[in-house]
Structures are given as C-alpha cells and as structure tokens.
Amino acid sequence: MTTAWLADLQAALGADGVLTDPDVTAGYARDAAMMAPAGTPAAVVLPRNTAEVVAVMQVASRHGVPVVPRGAGSGLAGASNAIDGAITLVMTRMDAVLEVSPEDRLAVVQPGVVNKTLRDVVAGHGLFYPPDPSSYDWCTIGGNLSTNSGGLCCVKYGVTTDYVLGLEVVLADGRVLRTGRRTVKGVAGYDLARLFVGSEGTLGVITEATLALRPAPQRPVTLAASFATTAQTGQVVERVVTSGLIPSLLEVMDNTCICAADELLNAELDRGAHSLLVAQSDAGGEAAAAEIEALTQICREAGADFVHSTDDAAEGDLLLQARRVALPALAALRSGMLVDDVAVPRSRIAEFLDGCDAIARERAVVIGVTGHAGDGNMHPCISFDAENPDERERAYAAFDDILELGLAMGGTITGEHGVGSIKVDWLEREIGPVSLDVHRAIKDALDPQGLLNPGKVFRRASVRDLAAVSELTGS
C-alpha cells in the first residue's frame, strides 16, 4: 500500500509510528461497544507528541483523509470505531503525567494517561482525581474527556468536565489551540475548553489537559443493602436526596446483575434480592460513620431485607467489586450485549427500573440494570444470542424502547457514554432541530472538510441500521 499521504505520514512519524498490516490494524478497529459497526482503517498512527499530531492532521487536511481519534478503546458507543479508508489516530503513546502541582491542586497530563495511573500518581501528593469510570484501570484521560465520563463517584464529585481547567487541542487543519487556564476562576472569552469535552473527537484532537484536583479523601465507610422491591430502592434514593446526605458513592444493581456478578465472583451475594444498593462515605472519621448510620436507618425504614456496613477498606472493596464487575458479568451471559446509558430524574429511578423489567418481558430478552443511583444514570444491559436473528432483532427493539422510556421520563439518551455511532438517530429527538443546527454550525466552523470522526454523533441511523451496515461490510 503506497499513497502520497501514507508516505507523508511515514516521513513525519517514522515506520514504527504508522501501522498498515491488516492483522495489526484490526486490533484498533472497534471499541467495547460490541454491536456497533466498524470499518477497516487504512492506517493506524501512534504519535508520541503534539508535533506529530499536528503533522498527522496537516497530512489529513492536505489530502482530505478522515481521521478517527482513539484512546484505549474502552468506549461503549462506537465513537472511536474505525472508518473504511481513514486514519485511526491512537493516542496511547502520549501517556505522560507532565506536572502535579500540590500548591495549585492541578495536574497536567497527556491524553494517553490511564485514569487509575493518574489517580495513583496524585495520591502520592495527598491529592485526588475524582472521575471514576468503571473501566478506570484501563481507560485513558483523553477518552474520558472526549465522552465527558462520569463514574461511581459522580453523586458527590461530579463528572470529568467539572475538573477541566484547560486543554491543548490540535484542530482539523493542524493548528494548535490552547484554551482554559491554571487559575481557580477565569471567564475571559467563551469556555472553549468545555466545548471539546464530550465532543467525541469530532471537533479536535486533545493532546494535553490541565485538570483540577481535590485533597485526598478519608478512608471510606461502605454500606450494602438489599431490597425485595423496586419501590423500596427508589424510596431510599429519594430520602437520601431530600435528607441532604451526600455519600461519595451510591450504586444500584438489579437481580439480574446480582446473580451475574455472583456467578463471576462467587461472593455469596443474595441472589434472591430484587435489588442491591452499595454506598460509601469518605467524609472521614465520625462524620463518615454518622453519614452511613443515617443511610442505614433510611434503608431499614424502607424495609431493607439486609443492611451491612464496614469501615474495613478490604471488605469495602469486596462489596464494591460486585458493582464494578457488573458489565463483564452480564457480557458473559450470552454472546451478544447492548449496553445502554440513560439518565433519568432521581425521583423516577424506581419507575425506570420497573419499566426495564416490563420491556424485558415484552421483548423476551434478558435485561440487567446497574447504575449510579445517586445521579440517576442507569445502565440497562441487554444480553442476547447474537447468532439468533430473531433474538437479536428483539434486543435492538428493547434498546430503542429503553431510550424511549428514558426520554418520556424527562431523561437523556446518554449520561456518560456519549452518542457515538449507536444513538445518532436519537440525538435530534432529545435536543431538537435548532440545537442540532447549532451543533452542526460549530462542527463546520472547526472542521469544514468534515475530516474528524465523520459519521459520529450527527449521522442519522438507528442501532438496527448500524448493525445491518456492519453485516453488509463484514465488520
């Protein structure tokens, strides 16, 4: 394979920075969204620094070659899936923590830094980077920024965008934009840094981020409570909100998730429970104990079948592990899985859980729901036989039903995974045509050739259509 643009890339990055062997590039074709379609990249490029990213975008702009930015591939919406004939720009070699400033409580990092690595590095300075996706031990900061990831600690600490002070971004034409600041406050001009957060690689390539940090939390106290009904679970969540409690974590799992996680971990979870709540408080000392005691009382008053709390870190990690392995445990049930990501008002969590049960019965598919009860971000996961066309079609229908249910409750089609390629047909339904026009105007201003991640976020296609395209292309 020899083309002018490929030769230009090899000259700029060297032979080991540009991969074209199909057996190698296939490993970069898709993210963790099992059913999202993926093409075949013409080349996989692995830059080591901003200058090389600039070179890639200049080559792409000059020759009109599309570029798909990619991190570790932990995404769940197909946003980093390859496009036929395009360049897949993999940022994992840019993995340095460039600076940690305890005095200013910030870190400057490259996009390939793994979330857990950053957390571990800043912990050595008595600091804390709160965004905590379930894949924190392998997902990268660049990917977290591109999808505005949240995680288990959102109820108290917020999401990725809440920690972005500034960004360095390479634009579609190769220009380098530095936006944001290092100060706590700053309102000079538009908040361009946050424009790129959540843009899923469609507006620019993030090459550096200045991130706010917090003081390290105290050792957490952990609570687990099981319930016989959805209504009881919803009552606890509402009471937590109205009572003013702010746990550092409040997670929910339904019975399907409980059983799947127990099968994977052999942790002797209560497989008869309708739902399981896991909560933590990192307020420290007596304050944490008091917060968990108040939450214990709320659970008991709601009729919990079982409540247990511990201040032992190892035991707390074991209780939390069941929640962290929920997605891989559900994926192990069947050969196919669609992972959804719907956020609803916290007052309607119980109604949403019941609605997912009804959809599972109507479509005759397995749906397990886990999620961040503290902020209403639920993750219904549809497990099905991918080789059975009828069952697969019912799974796709259930996927759409869940999105419809969430919107009907005043919710959103994605709380943290992004639109990617699997929800583009739902975006306008949520934000409306005027808002979509504004989105497109911004895209056209920053990327007039449409080179960056084309077909993502704005492409109109249903999850069924995307699967059909995948079958036709053999991807």
- 115 compared with 465, residue with greater pLDDT: 115
In this prediction, residue 461 has a pLDDT band, given cuts at 50, 70 and 90, of very low
Give the C-alpha separation, 447 to 384, whole Å: 39
Q: 400 is written with which tokens?
A: 């759409």
Give the C-alpha separation, 148 to 146, whole Å: 6
CA distances from 276 to 230, 249, 293, 373 (A): 10, 13, 17, 11
Radius of gyration in angstroms for the set of CA atoms belonging to the chain, rounded to a whole number:
22
Q: 393 is written with which tokens?
A: 């079609």
The reported pTM is 0.91
Q: Which residues contact 176 (CB under 8 A, 6 or more apart)?
A: 50, 54, 168, 169, 170, 207
The 10s digit of each residue's pLDDT in 71-101 is 999 999 999 999 999 999 999 999 999 999 9
Has residue 460 got a pLDDT over 80? no
pLDDT at 459: 54
SS3 content of the chain, % helix, strand, coil (to 5): 40, 20, 40
Give the C-alpha separation, 275 to 277, whole Å: 7
Give the C-alpha separation, 318 to 296, whole Å: 19
Has residue 300 got a pLDDT over 80? yes
Has residue 473 got a pLDDT over 80? no
Length of the chain: 475
Q: Which residues contact 235 (CB under 8 A, 6 or more apart)?
A: 302, 350
pLDDT at 132: 87
Give the C-alpha separation, 135 to 414, whole Å: 17
CA distances from 383 to 235, 356, 446 (A): 28, 13, 39
Give the C-alpha separation, 236 to 238, whole Å: 5
Q: What is the mean pLDDT of residues 196-208?
A: 97
pLDDT at 467: 46
